[in-house]
Amino acid sequence: MGTFKLDDIRQIAGSASRRARYPLRSSDDLVQALGGRDATINYEGRGHKAAEAAQIPGAVFPIESEEDLIATLASLRARGGDQAEGMPRGEELKDLPPDAGRPREIPEGERLPRGKVGAKGWR
């Protein structure tokens, strides 16, 4: 498990956004936004070819904005087991903090029957 700097990801996303036309619908769109297959991107002190972005899974697309691109790239690093520098992992709380407030009221039509767990769109 390694670490990564969010500022590095922000810099890459900012560079891509100067050329990008959102939404980015595929890794090919991202490669083009990064300057094309042969463009070199400085990331973590090393040069990387923009073509490496072709490895990003299609399931993360479309990417709607620069902010979405930052979140997606950071999420991909975190899924690989890496941790953002300066952002320690959260800790599990045994109880809610006293000032947590009440949970929002879930409208009747959105409530699940007792004992059922689910998510929209999942079977």
- pTM over the 0.95 mark: no
Assess if residue 40 is contained within a domain.
yes
The answer to whether position 31 is within a domain reads yes
**Partners of residue 43 on adjacent β-strands:** 46
Domain containing 46 equals 3-84
Q: Indicate whether 26 belongs to any domain.
A: yes
Asked if residue 17 is part of any domain, the answer here is yes
Residue 4 has which token pair? 């990564």
**Mean pLDDT over each residue of the chain, to the nearest integer:** 84
CATH code, domain with 80: 1.10.238
pLDDT (tens digit per residue) in 102-112: 877 878 777 66
Q: What is the pLDDT of residues 51-100, one digit of tens each?
A: 999 999 999 999 999 999 999 999 998 888 888 887 666 777 888 888 98
How many distinct structural domains can be found in the chain?
1
The fraction of the chain above a pLDDT of 90, given in percent, is: 46
Contacts of 55 (CB under 8 A, 6+ apart): 27
